[in-house]
Amino acid sequence: MGFLDQTKKKAITFSYDDGVTQDIRLIELLNKYNLKCTFNLNSELLAHKGMLMRNGLRIAHYKVHPDDVKSIYDGHEVAVHTLTHPNLTRCEDAEIIRQVETDRLHLSELVGYEVIGMAYPCGGVNNDDRVADIIKKHTGVKYSRTITTNSSFDLQENLYRFDPTAYHLDFEELMALGEAFLALKPETPKLFYIWGHSYEMDYGPDYWVKLEDFFKLISNKDDIFYGTNKEVLL
């Protein structure tokens, strides 16, 4: 495990799930601040349209169209989120392989490069050692992220059950962790890994503003490498 830029001891990466149309606005912000992200997509659900009820609001949950995947996510990384977003801990071995590897192959075809990353789908307990071992041994995936935040910048041994540092809606903690990360002068590599869903930015009237404030805080620092998940983990 190591950063693509070996001259730097600190790295920041983002990971967003589901492949929704709010990703377009998010990518505009990421690009504005020279940040990099990995987007985890369900290839069989692309172009599907749905609505979610959150905080008394109807939130659009429209998936991007497959024909637009390559252009929308250009400059970032596309990764696996399974074909149809099941809880893999409840699936048989063969179905785990089908959900992961077929999604990987579909997405690779859409973007024109080999997709090798993944984020586990479904909330709650969505991964375990059995699932991780199957993915490691029977698919082309090289790393997979959980949703269990650890508030840590330390690197991790197990890339197939990789825990993120922070969840993007925990704005107060996010800013505090950002300040702490900027102050670090580490002798060994440290990683700040943030995950979320871009549609969640529509939950509150100022959520996009708060996220941009965080981007302003942590971006364009000479001692930090900004990369996709693949670029910081492999």
Query: pLDDT digits over 70-125, tens only?
Result: 999 999 999 999 999 999 999 999 999 999 999 999 999 999 999 999 999 998 89
Q: For residue 1, what pLDDT band results from cuts at 50, 70 and 90?
A: low
Element (H, E) at 80: strand 77-80
**Cβ-based burial of 173 (10 A; exposed 0-12, middle 13-18, buried ≥19):** middle
User: The tokens of 44 are what?
Assistant: 């069989």
| Mean predicted confidence (pLDDT) in 130-152 | 98
| pLDDT for the residue numbered 7 | 87
Q: For residue 31, what pLDDT band results from cuts at 50, 70 and 90?
A: very high
Q: What do you get for the CA distance between the two ends of the chain, in Å? A: 5
Model-wide pTM > 0.95: yes
Under 8 Å CB-to-CB from 142, ≥6 apart: which residues? 116, 117, 159, 230, 233, 234
**Segment 9-25, tens digit of pLDDT:** 999 999 999 999 999 99
Q: What domains lie within the chain, and their CATH numbers?
A: 10-233 (3.20.20.370)
Asked if 232 and 51 touch (Cβ cutoff 8 Å), the reply is no
Position 55 pLDDT exceeds 90: no
**Segment 168-207, tens digit of pLDDT:** 999 999 999 999 999 999 999 999 999 999 999 999 999 9
User: Alpha-carbon distance 74 to 124, whole Å?
Assistant: 31
| pLDDT for the residue numbered 185 | 97
Q: For residue 157, what pLDDT band results from cuts at 50, 70 and 90?
A: very high
| Mean predicted confidence (pLDDT) in 44-69 | 96
Q: How many residues does the chain have?
A: 234
